[in-house]
Structure 1
Amino acid sequence: MQWLGPDEWQAVALSIKVSFWATLLAMPIALLVAVALARWQFHGKALLNGLVHLPLILPPVVTGYVLLIVFSGPSPIGAALKSAGIVLAFRWTGAALAAAIMGFPLMVRAMRLSLEAVDPKLEQAAATLGASRIWVFLTITLPLILPGVLAAAVLGFAKAMGEFGATITFVSNIPGQTRTLPSAIYAFLQVPGGENSALRLVIVSVVIAMAALLLSEWLARRVADRVRGATC
């Protein structure tokens, strides 16, 4: 990374930080929602499914504007969070929240497809032996869907790395605070002579995305081999 300038490196480091926390924040909630959509029957299931996928349908700027209204200082939620010392608007934490919301539908879908591929009879057999639902999930279901969980994590991380519209609307484009890779590329393209910096950041984005995909493929294969070995 020595060929990157200080401002460029700052954008890369902030993007990785935001993407990591966005993925970590969204993963457990996405897993719970995926289980609910794949395994549970309840009133409002179609509505929940629609709400989950809403960020994919809405323009990202709309999502960012809604976040700004809900979590800015004047709103009741924003005021309550501020009194607790939590500020999201125009902070990197807000960028992580926006990225988590935008990547959430992709994460839910990846894990839901993995859950639907698991034969429910395996879970039922474990339940008949006296295992609780939580124990069945932890010992039977979760190991079988680990490749899907890893795929969801990679999708969420990649989406967070590339998120622009919702982020710039919610937290703006403040150097050193909220200027992530996409925002930095956009900013460099707006000034004369900034094309080289933008190109370097584009290359870094491609390298990070490919590294994440290759790592996920390797981990998924390792997990799948272990699961096959355990079930044989």
Structure 2
Amino acid sequence: MMLTPEMEIIALSLRIAGIAILGAMPVAFGFAWILARYDFPGKSLLQAVLTMPLVLPPVVTGYFLLVLFGARGAIGSLLLEWFGFSFAFRWTGAALAAGVMALPLLIRPMRLAIENIDKGLEEAARTLGAGRIKAFMTVTLPLLMPGIIAGSVLGFAKALGEFGATITFVSNIPGETQTLSLAIYALMQSPSGDAAALKLILVSVVLSVLAVVLSEWLQRRLTAGGK
């Protein structure tokens, strides 16, 4: 089955956003756990740095990604030399940019969920013979699921609509890095692209609304199920 150009753009956008969130989730959870459970010098600074993608102009975040992960970047040059892998001008770079931009939206709900857990429940599970891993899997993780799900869905919506960091880091390449937002931008620059742009705008609105509604529904359902 041949996909239309619009369907190919949507499919690529969904793939990039999905992989971005899958890659960002373990990182977000690790930082959320550290911020929620530990006090240490520089904690406020770390929190500020992790929040920066939300408050910085996205093109600035994209520039930092280019400096770090570009073909001549501090990390990107090593990846290219050692593994022959490059983020530059590839869909993987678009996923990296989307994941970085979505990271703060993943961290905050997870952190709040961790802070709201009664540590007495974890201690009780250990008193009854459960090890750290079993106590985490059977007590802590189920209580964290509302925050994890809510953050993941909202982060996915953010990744799906990412524009500035992506176009700065990996450019706007049809079939490779051209996501919904970039495709809409390109079509709006064309005198005959209004109709196609409108279709993609409507798709973007529908996907964003569905993501927010799904996040709220899952959070209520999981919270109610845990009571």
TM-score (norm 1): 0.90
Deviation at 1:89, TM superposition (A): 1.2
* Structure 2 match to 1:219: 218
Total equivalences in the alignment: 225
SS of the residue 1:126 aligns to? helix
Deviation at 1:73, TM superposition (A): 1.5
* Structure 2 match to 1:86: 85
Task: Give the Cα separation in 2 of the matches to 1:134 and 1:50.
Answer: 30
SS of the residue 2:41 aligns to? coil
The one of 28, 31, 44 equivalent to 2:29 is 31
Aligned-residue Cα RMSD (Å) equals 1.8
Q: Percent identity?
A: 54
Which amino acid in 1 is paired with 2:104?
P
Task: Give the Cα separation in 2 of the matches to 1:128 and 1:162.
Answer: 46
Residue 115 of structure 2 is aligned to residue 116 of structure 1: yes
Task: Give the Cα separation in 2 of the matches to 1:28 and 1:121.
Answer: 25
Task: Give the Cα separation in 2 of the matches to 1:131 and 1:40.
Answer: 23
Deviation at 1:100, TM superposition (A): 0.3
Deviation at 1:221, TM superposition (A): 4.0
SS of the residue 1:118 aligns to? coil
* Structure 2 match to 1:188: 187
User: 1:56–1:218: structure 2 CA closer, same or farther, 3 Å change rule?
Assistant: closer
Task: Give the Cα separation in 2 of the matches to 1:192 and 1:218.
Answer: 41
Which amino acid in 1 is paired with 2:66?
L
Deviation at 1:225, TM superposition (A): 4.0
Alignment of 1:36-51 (within 5 A): 36-51=34-49
Deviation at 1:82, TM superposition (A): 1.3
Do 2:157 and 2:208's aligned partners in 1 also have CA atoms closer than 8 Å? Answer: yes
Task: Give the Cα separation in 1 of the matches to 2:80 and 2:52.
Answer: 27
Do 2:150 and 2:218's aligned partners in 1 also have CA atoms closer than 8 Å? Answer: no
* Structure 1 match to 2:139: 140
Task: Give the Cα separation in 2 of the matches to 1:50 and 1:219.
Answer: 29
Do 2:53 and 2:61's aligned partners in 1 also have CA atoms closer than 8 Å? Answer: yes
Residue 204 of structure 2 is aligned to residue 166 of structure 1: no
Which amino acid in 2 is paired with 1:24?
L
Task: Give the Cα separation in 1 of the matches to 2:136 and 2:210.
Answer: 30
Deviation at 1:208, TM superposition (A): 1.6
Task: Give the Cα separation in 1 of the matches to 2:55 and 2:213.
Answer: 28
* Structure 2 match to 1:101: 100
After superposition, the C-alpha distances for 1:33-83 in whole angstroms (9 at most, x for unaligned) are 111111122332222211111111211101101111111122342122113
Do 2:50 and 2:104's aligned partners in 1 also have CA atoms closer than 8 Å? Answer: yes
Which amino acid in 1 is paired with 2:55?
I
User: 1:129–1:40: structure 2 CA closer, same or farther, 3 Å change rule?
Assistant: farther
Task: Give the Cα separation in 2 of the matches to 1:96 and 1:172.
Answer: 13
| Most deviating of 37-46 and 99-108 | 37-46
Deviation at 1:130, TM superposition (A): 4.1
TM-score (norm 2): 0.92
Which amino acid in 2 is paired with 1:191?
S
Task: Give the Cα separation in 1 of the matches to 2:73 and 2:30.
Answer: 28
Do 2:67 and 2:74's aligned partners in 1 also have CA atoms closer than 8 Å? Answer: no
After superposition, the C-alpha distances for 1:173-229 in whole angstroms (9 at most, x for unaligned) are 01111100000000000010211111100111122222333333443344334423x
